[in-house]
Amino acid sequence: MKYLFELGRQPEISTAELEAVFARLHIHPENQIPKYSGIYLVVKFESKLDAPHLSQILGGTKKIGREIKKIGDEIQSIANFLNENQTGKIQFGVSSNASQKIGLAIKKELKKLGRSVRYIEIKNTATILHNNLVEKQGDFTIVDNSVFVTEAIQDIEGFTTRDYGRPGSDDVSGMLPPKLARIMINLSGANPKTDTVLDPFCGSGTILTEALSMGFTNITGSDFSQKAIGDAKKNVDWMMNQYPVSTYPNIFLSDATKLLDHLKPNSINIIVSEPYLGKPLRDNEKKEILIQQADELKKLYIESFKEFHKILKKNGTIIFIIPKFRYNNDWITIDCLEEIKRIGFEQKPFNKTYASLLYHRPKQHVGREIWKFISK
């Protein structure tokens, strides 16, 4: 059975997340997941997927669709499916290289059958959501001559609320997007029921609140900033009023290099964190300033990893962002991988293609490079 995944803005990150979640949930594709091509990924499975449940877990997948039986061409296949599965007035939308042309042809076929039909032009997943097309089995995607009916779409409203609706924020230091926080948690392979997750640079608590929304019960966060701790607690309080969560994270003030003052040795399974990324950039910094900032951050990260090694259990996992700074058409990077390995960590690639994953938006001065480490 084939399924289609509409990937996020950076498909390589979405693909790595899918692979990690499949592994944790023991979902086995029939063949190796192909390297993404464009925004769609088509994967074959031996059995049916619980697409709505999977969509609730993922942060980097916009839409999941299941292949429908093909009768004739794509137009005839969709028309037959709609005629059999919708009562009353039919409502549907199509995503393809010629969406409107195909949509109008389907509408014509259905009218021949005496059906009342409304064709909806799909602009984004919000269009699907607001017209209830998932529930009506009325949204279709055509890829490589196969037709997929949408079974689940991303919870856009939930992510937006957790991004812009929470009370505590810091516009100066910036905030980790909730989708990226969720992706990072998933990349760790953490099990919500059994693993203890720590964010030692928790800031306003995005990773903590995403972990709460994912059902984690053992969550710890720390930061050296009193304001950050206050914001994180505000956001957790808000989260507990908005969502059915009952476990309050352990949140405390601490430098990331002094975690043993608060935590027991070998007590943490998973660390997921975006650390301090340096002073905000204005795009007019001299190269020397960026190199100096990179050197200062390198020292902080190495000292932090020394502490991480003490509190992590053997084979504990770290998902960690190491920034790189844009200078003209090049990047200023923080070269600390060898030092981290010498501390007692193994750097694990996310798949055969990517050792690390770069999250970066056009015109941003800072790129977030995501790395995975295992404690030896």
pLDDT at 229 over 90: yes
- The model's pLDDT over 338-352, given as tens digits with 9 standing for 90+, comes to 999 999 999 999 998
DSSP H helical segments within the chain, as ranges?
Answer: 11-25, 51-57, 74-85, 99-112, 125-130, 156-164, 178-187, 206-213, 226-242, 287-311, 337-344
pLDDT at 174 over 90: no
Residue found under tokens 């969709």: 78
* The architecture CATH gives domain 166-375: 3-Layer(aba) Sandwich (3.40)
**Mean pLDDT value across residues 286-303:** 97
**Mean pLDDT value across residues 283-304:** 95
Give the model's confidence band at 172: pLDDT under 50 very low, under 70 low, under 90 confident, else very high. low
Contact criterion met (CB below 8 Å) for 128 and 150: yes
Report the alpha-carbon distance of residue 51 to residue 149 in Å, rounded: 11
Report the alpha-carbon distance of residue 26 to residue 23 in Å, rounded: 5
pLDDT of the residue at 274: 98
- Name the token pair of 152: 């689940």
User: What letter does residue 29 receive in the DSSP assignment?
Assistant: B
- The model's pLDDT over 102-157, given as tens digits with 9 standing for 90+, comes to 999 999 999 999 999 999 999 999 999 999 999 999 999 999 889 999 999 999 99
pLDDT at 192 over 90: yes
Contact criterion met (CB below 8 Å) for 306 and 257: yes
**Mean pLDDT value across residues 34-56:** 90
Give the model's confidence band at 66: pLDDT under 50 very low, under 70 low, under 90 confident, else very high. very high
Q: 229 in helix, strand or coil? A: helix
What is the residue extent of each domain of the chain? 2-154, 166-375
pLDDT of the residue at 190: 98
Query: Could you give the angle at which helices 226-242 and 206-213 cross, rounded to 10 degrees?
Result: 20
Report the alpha-carbon distance of residue 281 to residue 298 in Å, rounded: 17
pLDDT of the residue at 50: 98
pLDDT at 281 over 70: yes
pLDDT of the residue at 79: 98
Q: 316 in helix, strand or coil? A: strand
